[in-house]
Amino acid sequence: MNDDSSTRIAAALRDWIADAAPGARLPSTRTLVEHHGASPVTVQRALKLLTTQGLVETRPGVGTFVRAARTTRPADYGWQTAALGPRPAGAGTLSTSLRTVANDVIALHSGYPARDLLPERLVRTALTRAARSEAAINRSPVAGMPELQQWFADELGSQSPTDVTPPAASDVIVLPGSQSCLSAVFRALVLRGQPLLMESPTYWGALHAATQAGVEVVPIPSGPHGPDPEQLDRAFEETGARLFYAQPTYANPTGAQWTPGLAQSVLDVVRRHRAFVLEDDWAHDFGIDSEPRPLAAHDDAGHVIYLRSLTKSVSPAIRIAAVIARGPARERILTDIGASSMYVSGTLQAAALDVVTQPGWLPHQRRTREALRDRRDLLLRCLREHTPQAHVEHVPAGGLNLWARLPDGTAVEPLADRCRAAGLMIAPGTEWFPAEPSGPYVRLNFSGPDPSGFGAGAQILGRMLDA
């Protein structure tokens, strides 16, 4: 008998099941074979079909039974409200930049480069090799693979002046992404309830990490060119803070890059107060019109704690970053990281090292630089043509974002909701301020998918602003 026969047998059994009580036992396979004149295989196919339809269930060694009907009722999790208590202060919600959208939505909100800007071939090859290596089996040292530690140290050391001692591999701690480093540094170097200085606006993830660490954020106004050293000096003096979180290179969201003079002034302030700077060099690989100038390259006394990530430039699936710190501060950070994440996957470390040491890595970076320049300039032209109300105060020399100021009085979060309903996803600037926003801003990412949609996106934004 063929499949048509098993279908007919299944139909006959469905009629039988309709009149049977839940839990009733179906006739045996032998009985069904004799009754329908079919082979055992055909009968088994019919029973399997009924099982996939949820009508019967088979109990090995016992028989096949009519499945008992189950009444679906709404789950009640109300008890958790009392058990959890009040929501933690500043807990917030998932950042707009992490949200996924449908393919037909114009995405200017993401914090990650599009797939065509990644070294996909290098990544796939590296993962294949890493899976066959000893790193796929053995546990990595807590501070990271020595070869990868050395690479991070050499990268920063290559930019150090001759009168500054470059970092050693032993100064490096490899991390599962930069976000875990922010939390670890805040916990290790700032006591709960103590002040932490931060640029404003700044990276939303740093704000969340500070909230989780229980520290008190003190905003330092930072414009298109960075913070004012005098205000930073005054904040250190008035608050007694010992750590300043900053992004000297292509800051997220403003795109600001500190001049060498500003960097030296900030470093002088930090040294005078015997404090630390946590330098987040997240966009090191995304220079467009300038080269990165790490602040840490000019410090060998342990004042600058340097954080560099490969997640955005290599692959979001390879979450690898490193922190470079010296002295007791490094030991405190390492202790915190060891307690929270123990160690980083050796396979991912080996793959990341493979990618950045391949001959194709530097040509890929050059291509990425050109692609980012084209996308940045295209989005700027589209905004000027279709959304003159959005003013980009500073054209970034690198990074992934434009920071656009909207007309005074614009309610940016309702605006973002209206844009999303119209098919455009943008990130409201309120997410990047540690205190009240200094104005109505939106962050627009020019490295996302499909730059051909920039024009349509700018038109939607313009219409929503007019409305």
What is the predicted pLDDT for the residue at 1? 47
β partners of residue 390: none
Give exposure, 317-354, as e/b (b: 16+ Cβ within 10 Å).
Answer: ebbbbbbbbbeebbebbbebbeeeeebbbbbbbbbbbb
Domain boundaries, the chain: 3-66, 96-116+362-466, 120-358
Other Cβ atoms within 10 Å of 18 Cβ, number: 9
251 CB contacts (<8 Å, ≥6 apart)? 199, 202, 203, 222, 226, 257, 399
| Rounded-to-integer distance, Cα 390 and Cα 406, Å | 5
| Rounded-to-integer distance, Cα 344 and Cα 280, Å | 20
Tokens of 68: 């008992």
Which CATH number applies to 96-116+362-466?
3.90.1150.10
Sign of CA dihedral 303, 162, 181, 344: negative
**Is 266 within 8 Å of 279 (Cβ atoms)?**
no
What is the predicted pLDDT for the residue at 255? 94
Angle formed at CA 174 by CA 109 and CA 295, multiple of 5 degrees: 70
From 335, 389, 329, select the one nearest 143 (Cα to Cα).
Answer: 335
| Rounded-to-integer distance, Cα 432 and Cα 448, Å | 19
Which class for 102: exposed (0-12), middle (13-18), buried (19 or more C-beta within 10 A)? exposed
120-358 folds as Aspartate Aminotransferase; domain 2 (3.40.640)
**Is 383 within 8 Å of 162 (Cβ atoms)?**
no
In tens digits, what is the pLDDT along the chain, a chain of 467 residues? 456 788 889 888 988 888 888 888 999 888 999 998 888 888 888 888 888 888 888 887 778 888 876 555 566 766 776 777 776 655 556 666 666 666 678 888 888 899 999 999 999 999 999 989 888 788 888 888 999 999 999 999 999 998 889 999 999 999 988 888 898 899 989 989 999 999 999 999 999 999 988 999 999 999 888 999 999 999 999 999 999 999 999 999 999 999 999 999 999 999 999 999 999 999 999 999 999 999 999 998 999 999 999 999 999 989 999 999 999 988 988 888 877 767 788 889 999 999 999 999 999 999 999 999 999 999 999 999 999 999 998 999 999 999 999 999 989 999 999 999 888 999 999 998 988 888 999 999 999 888 999 999 999 999 999 88
| Rounded-to-integer distance, Cα 271 and Cα 242, Å | 11
Which CATH number applies to 3-66?
1.10.10.10
**Is 293 within 8 Å of 173 (Cβ atoms)?**
no
**What is the tens place of the pLDDT at every residue in 441-466?**
999 999 988 899 999 999 999 999 98
What is the predicted pLDDT for the residue at 106? 86
Residue type at position 133: S
Tokens of 85: 């208590």
Angle formed at CA 130 by CA 129 and CA 134, multiple of 5 degrees: 115
| Rounded-to-integer distance, Cα 30 and Cα 43, Å | 9
Alpha-carbon distances, residue 122 vs 354, 360, 369 (angstroms): 8, 7, 17
**What is the tens place of the pLDDT at every residue in 57-84?**
888 777 888 887 655 556 676 677 677 7
Alpha-carbon distances, residue 245 vs 122, 204, 270, 276 (angstroms): 33, 12, 11, 9
313 CB contacts (<8 Å, ≥6 apart)? 113, 118, 284, 285, 286, 365, 368
**Is 318 within 8 Å of 310 (Cβ atoms)?**
yes
